[in-house]
Amino acid sequence: MRRRLPPLNSLKAFEAAARYCSFSDAADELCVSHSAISHQVKLLEKHLNIELFVRKPHSVSLSAAGKQLYPYLRDGFNGLSEGVERVLAPQAPSVLTVRLYNTFAIRWLIPNLTKFQRDYPEIQVRLSTSLTDVDFDHDDVDVCIRSGKTDDPGVHYDRLFGGESFPVCSPAYLEKNPNLKQPSDLLRHTIIQVTSCPDDWFNWLSLNNISDASFDSSLEFDSYDLALTTAAQGLGVAMTIDTYAKTELETGVLIEPFPDFRKPYPLDWYLASRRDRHETTKIQLFRQWMLEEAKAFQ
């Protein structure tokens, strides 16, 4: 059967533009000009005699036909990429792209990653950190480590572990502030907050029967890593989860002023991958390793 396919370059340009919902980002990925992407997309639309994008003055979005076509091209190009990787496997390492939060990368994955690299030197792990969760329809990512919802039917989830939340500070801070004896005393201290998790402090205080909390002073950072580093310098009290503060607690750099007041962290950690690529060898090897590491950590 003879295939009726449009020009490959136009399909490639459309797939990239649809993945990013941006002609400029597609142009950057394919190392061509914005006008070249626009020309190739128009060529494809002319070939199919249908509009694939809704064009606005400063943005584009997929039309109904574009939304219908995009998943087929996405899966097709992913299949081509995987096929090439397998053919080149003896000559080149397979690349596994992992999306995760910055603090999780620094404080949990990277310290353990040497074991995976030792066991699977043929797989090159590429870490992509972000404060936002992955969109598998548009992001070029193999797996994601995240906390939160598991409601996407197109995604396979493996639970890694749960956690506990609690305040921490440096020994020097506690020595200078001997009046920090019970959770309610925190309202008179400098609180270090993580802007991406604004409810962490209030959830923990509420679980410890402190409502309508109002702090005298606070510092704000966009990651747990910065918050914990600041707490270690003696500048205030930070909220953390055991996933992040294990090393500092073991070495005494940070301490718990209220060790009897830990509370369950409301979100579990998951390893997520697209369901239609879940059985890929590199993903399965990383999944098995992650589950073993998570079990040992728990």
Q: What percent of the chain has pLDDT over 90?
A: 53
153-210 tens-digit pLDDT:
889 999 999 889 999 999 999 999 988 888 988 888 899 999 888 888 888 988 888 8
Q: Is the pLDDT of residue 297 over 70?
A: yes
Q: Is the pLDDT of residue 1 over 70?
A: no
Q: Is the pLDDT of residue 296 over 70?
A: yes
Quick one: average pLDDT of 249-273? 92
* Bridge partners for 159 per DSSP: 270
Tell me the C-alpha distance between 132 and 71, whole Å.
22
Tell me the C-alpha distance between 222 and 100, whole Å.
15
What contacts 294, CB < 8 A, 6 or more positions away?
160, 161, 269
Given 3.40.50.300, 3.40.50.150, 3.40.50.170, 3.40.190.10, which CATH number is that of 94-162+267-297?
3.40.190.10
104-157 tens-digit pLDDT:
999 999 999 999 999 999 899 999 998 888 888 888 899 999 988 888 888 999
- CA distances to 113, 166, 205 from 106, rounded to whole Å, are 11, 20, 27
- CA distances to 204, 225, 253, 255 from 250, rounded to whole Å, are 22, 16, 8, 9
- Under DSSP, the state recorded for 210 is -
Q: Tokens in use for 255?
A: 């301490």
- What pLDDT does residue 63 have? 93
- What pLDDT does residue 156 have? 94
Q: Please, where in the chain does CATH 3.40.190.10 lie?
A: 94-162+267-297, 164-264
- CA distances to 75, 96, 129, 149 from 126, rounded to whole Å, are 21, 6, 10, 24
- What pLDDT does residue 88 have? 66
- What pLDDT does residue 133 have? 81
Does CATH place domain 8-87 in 3.40.50.720? no
Tell me the average pLDDT of the chain.
88
Provide the whole-model pTM: 0.66
Q: Is the pLDDT of residue 291 over 80?
A: yes
Q: Is the pLDDT of residue 211 over 80?
A: no
Q: Which fold has domain 164-264?
A: D-Maltodextrin-Binding Protein; domain 2 (3.40.190)
Using alpha carbons, select from 283, 294, 292 the residue that is nearest to residue 123. Answer: 283
- What pLDDT does residue 278 have? 84
Cβ neighbour number for residue 55 with a 10 Å cutoff: 12
Contact 194, 227 (CB under 8 A): yes
- What pLDDT does residue 90 have? 55
Phi, psi at 194, each rounded to 5°: -105, 120
- What pLDDT does residue 142 have? 93
Helix, strand, coil % (nearest 5) of the chain?
45, 20, 30
